[in-house]
Amino acid sequence: MKILILCTGNSCRSQMAHGFLKSFDNRLEVESAGTEASGKLNHKAVEVMKEIDIDISHHTSDSVDLYLDKEWDYVITVCGGANENCPAFLGKVKHRLHIGFDDPSFATGTPEFIQTEYYRVRDEIKEAFWKLYIEKIKPQLQ
């Protein structure tokens, strides 16, 4: 099963979701991309994922243009707040989903508060993608 996780910058939330899906089932072919890919990973996203033994440090921040000519079972957008425009994917897709999350890289305040925002968003992504995996993806793999 081929899954593309789409965001704007492809440095944080989409990378975490990518890491979680691969950790749930290595049979999944998962990629992540952004319409304005930053070209690098958010170091705090890498850090909070590593704390739960998921290494995303080898991921790359790629432009969605690299994936437009492929067919996907799922394209999932993960942009969050009203100040963000979720990108549209114009390629061949069986299922389009939106599961939005706040962007912890926009958190302001003390270093401790910012860290808790990364944990909160990471844990929300894990919960939402586990539910998606159990309810929709895994049954299709049987």
Residues annotated as catalytic are 7, 79, 86
- Of 48, 18, 14, 46, which is closest to residue 118 (Cα–Cα)? 48
Alpha helix positions (H), 9-110: 13-24, 43-50
Q: Are 101 and 121 in contact (CB under 8 A)?
A: yes
What single-letter amino acid sits at 96? R
